[in-house]
């Protein structure tokens, strides 16, 4: 991973709301799917493993897929080929953070009171 941020693109299927936090980071949210260009993503991670309810790994031919279920019902699915290239990545009812345009980190949505 490099120190210099990489450019990446996102495309919403519906309305997308973008805000800038006090930390200068862009926050994007939507009730519809948001597509991220996976060409620049070199790794996928989970922010806090204590929030994970289950993690399934399946290997078929030259593909390895992961299904991560969070305690609050959110899910993340992603798959790599044998060369480590990310082929598919989907999150449902989760938050995602893109770091330097190359790391995709998923986390549970904050609990609302």
State which residues form the domain around 99.
Answer: 10-108
State the greatest distance between any 2 C-alpha atoms of the chain, in Å, as a whole number: 46
Which of 93, 113, 77, 100 is closest to 29 using CA atoms?
93
Residue 81 has a pLDDT of: 93
Percent residues over pLDDT 70 in the chain: 89
Domain-located, residue 1: no
Mean pLDDT of 30-54: 86
Residue 57 included in any domain:
yes
In a domain, 3, yes or no: no
2 part of a folded domain: no
- Whether 80 is covered by a domain: the verdict is yes
44 occurs within a structural domain: yes
**pLDDT tens digits for 63-86?**
999 999 999 999 999 999 999 888
Segment 38-49 shows an average pLDDT of 88
Percent of the chain with pLDDT strictly greater than 90:
33
- Beta-strand relationship, 103-108 and 43-46: parallel
pLDDT at 52: 96
pLDDT for 20? 79
Mean pLDDT of the chain: 84
| Domain contains 113 | no
User: pLDDT (tens digit, 9 = 90+) per residue, 93-109?
Assistant: 888 888 887 888 898 88
101 is a domain residue: yes
Q: Give how many domains the chain has, as a whole number.
A: 1
């Amino acid at each position: 991973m490099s120190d210099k941020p990489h450019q990446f693109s996102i495309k919403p299927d519906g309305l997308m709301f973008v805000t800038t936090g006090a930390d200068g980071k862009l926050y994007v949210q939507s009730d519809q799917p948001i597509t991220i260009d996976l060409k620049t993503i070199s790794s996928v991670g989970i922010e806090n493993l204590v929030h994970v309810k289950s993690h399934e790994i399946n290997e078929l031919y030259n593909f390895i897929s992961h299904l991560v279920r969070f305690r609050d019902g959110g899910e993340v699915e992603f798959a790599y080929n044998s060369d480590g290239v990310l082929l598919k990545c989907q999150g449902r009812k989760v938050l995602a953070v893109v770091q330097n345009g190359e790391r995709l980190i998923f986390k549970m949505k904050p609990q609302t009171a």
